[in-house]
Structure 1
Amino acid sequence: MRHGLLTSAILGLTLLAAGSAGAQTFDAAVKRGTLKVCIVETAPYALKTPRGHWIGHEIDVAKRLSSDFNLTPEFVPVTYEDMMSRLAEGDCDLIAASLAIEPDRLRQAWFTRPYGESEVSIVTAGTHKLADLDKAGTIIGAVAGTPAADLAKARLPLATIEIFPDLIAAERALESGAVMGLAYKAPMIVPALSRSASLWVPAVTMLTSLSP
């Protein structure tokens, strides 16, 4: 069963810092003629086609922003775990990703206004109540650097939260039975997991719904 944990805002990350640092970042992009955009390869936001072309919602946002300033977008693949450090190190001018607004991130960078929401849920291969998962010996998977990992730890303090480097590895663990459930953001997880005939993902049961 898919259990909803929380609804959180997602948005595009803009300049590196407030004030002069942000202005310097933009000035450098104008001089280069390119806008370096850090992206996380996650459906349906950013995907690379077999021919090597980037597509997805965040790609469209980055292309439109680049076009508005007569710049050429340059996409830099990163992970949720290292994207803020890559931004700070100057590997990109901005991040376009399904990125939740968090206090630590607000101290490091400017954000745009939120342009969407994502629901953090737990998907299991059978029918379970949320209370069934919060037990010693239960292993729940999550992807490194995602809000889902932190939420799972907070809402399931008795369970073991196993962190995986990416969604593909986490899916495999769920399919093999190595973890009882997988915490991740919907709707991305549903089409990804539906490829496996052995997994049953029924309707969402919301535990909490919060506005950003």
Structure 2
Amino acid sequence: MQVIIRAILVVCTVLVSLSVIASEEQARNFDDIVASGELRIGVSIFPPWVMRAKDGQLIGSEIDMAKRLAADMGLKPELALYEWKALITALNAKEIDIIISGMGINPARAMQVNFSRPYGDAGVGLAANTALTSTFKSMDELKQPNINIGVIANTVSADVATRLFSRTNIKAFATEDEAQDALINGKLHAFIGANPLPAFLALKYPGKVDVPLEKPLLSFKEGLAVRKGDSDFLNYLNAWVVSRSADAWIPSTRQYWLETLEWQEQVQ
């Protein structure tokens, strides 16, 4: 009996040791990442940050960022596509090394991950139907019961619209295309959505749509997100953001993807 008990204890000890080793292998720090030769990057589809090209490849501002970061580290980029809400879970489950997906820095997320210094600005903006709003003198005229404002359902933009335009008739749409059509066809006075969509609509439909506000309705900063506890990786990312901002690589990359429509031929 004692022999059997000892054998069981030995097996349990081995299993626990293997589990600890596997966990340690998965919990890669900065040195482990560099030694592995690859950078595992989590992204989520959200044009023009991340989207599918005609050939099925992932493209967008964050894909360029991911590839450049990996190249500067001398690593191969391994892109992993997730639903937005699963990104932080995947990071902390050690499935990926970093999130590069235009993630806004806020206190709640900072409790779960470490953010790099900001590399870009984002937020929520407003596009207006030019014909319906050409005589408006201020945003207060959009805050009336007879005004129709469109949003995408279940988004931050929808929450912002409800909070700022509580007296206005808010119409929720399932897709951007539906909201866009309603705005262009005069069924909406304005559309509230994540930047740069309002600006893209004005570029796409000059004379029909404009962006009347100088500042966004809501602003936030975007950062790279990594697991807590790896200060070396975070220090490198901060240095990388500073360097690639100073040499204008990050601003020029974001200008192409977020302020022009030159990339549209790649996805249409």
Output the TM-score relative to the length of structure 1. 0.66
For the residues of structure 2 that align with 1:35 and 1:113, how far apart are their CA atoms? 20
Q: What is the aligned residue count?
A: 187
Q: Spell out, residue by residue over 1:91-129, the C-alpha distance to the aligned partner (whole angstroms, 9 max, x if none).
A: 755432333222322223222211111353211102233
Structure 2 contact 127–211 (Cα < 8 Å) conserved: no
Paired letter, 1:24: A
What is aligned with 2:60?
56
1:170 aligns with 2:179: yes
Structure 2 contact 198–211 (Cα < 8 Å) conserved: no
- Summarize the Cα distance change of 1:58–1:137 in structure 2 as closer, same or farther, 3 Å threshold: same
Structure 1 contact 149–163 (Cα < 8 Å) conserved: yes
- Summarize the Cα distance change of 1:123–1:84 in structure 2 as closer, same or farther, 3 Å threshold: same
For the residues of structure 2 that align with 1:174 and 1:92, how far apart are their CA atoms? 40
1:135 aligns with 2:139: no
Show the 5 A alignment for 1:9-20: none
Structure 1 contact 174–181 (Cα < 8 Å) conserved: yes
Structure 1 contact 41–77 (Cα < 8 Å) conserved: no
Paired letter, 2:53: T
For the residues of structure 1 that align with 2:184 and 2:28, how far apart are their CA atoms? 43
Structure 2 contact 124–217 (Cα < 8 Å) conserved: no
What is aligned with 2:47?
42
For the residues of structure 2 that align with 1:170 and 1:156, how far apart are their CA atoms? 17
What is aligned with 1:121?
125
1:99 aligns with 2:103: yes
Q: Spell out, residue by residue over 1:119-142, the C-alpha distance to the aligned partner (whole angstroms, 9 max, x if none).
A: 532111022331122223533223
Structure 1 contact 143–166 (Cα < 8 Å) conserved: yes
Paired letter, 2:168: A
For the residues of structure 1 that align with 2:155 and 2:37, how far apart are their CA atoms? 32
- Summarize the Cα distance change of 1:205–1:70 in structure 2 as closer, same or farther, 3 Å threshold: closer
1:156 aligns with 2:165: yes
Structure (1 or 2) with the greater strand fraction = 1
Paired letter, 2:105: I
- Summarize the Cα distance change of 1:150–1:29 in structure 2 as closer, same or farther, 3 Å threshold: farther
For the residues of structure 1 that align with 2:171 and 2:52, how far apart are their CA atoms? 27
For the residues of structure 1 that align with 2:86 and 2:173, how far apart are their CA atoms? 19
What is aligned with 2:86?
85
Q: Spell out, residue by residue over 1:5-57, the C-alpha distance to the aligned partner (whole angstroms, 9 max, x if none).
A: xxxxxxxxxxxxxxx99x826669987956142233312x3332212222222
The structural deviation recorded for 1:86 is: 4.2
Unaligned runs of 5+ in 1: 1-19
Q: Secondary structure at the match of 1:87?
A: helix
Show the 5 A alignment for 1:2-41: 24=27, 33=38, 35-41=40-46
What is aligned with 1:195?
204
What is aligned with 2:75?
70
Q: Secondary structure at the match of 2:44?
A: strand
Unaligned runs of 5+ in 2: 1-22, 222-268
Structure (1 or 2) with the greater helix fraction = 2
The alignment yields a C-alpha RMSD, in angstroms, of 3.8
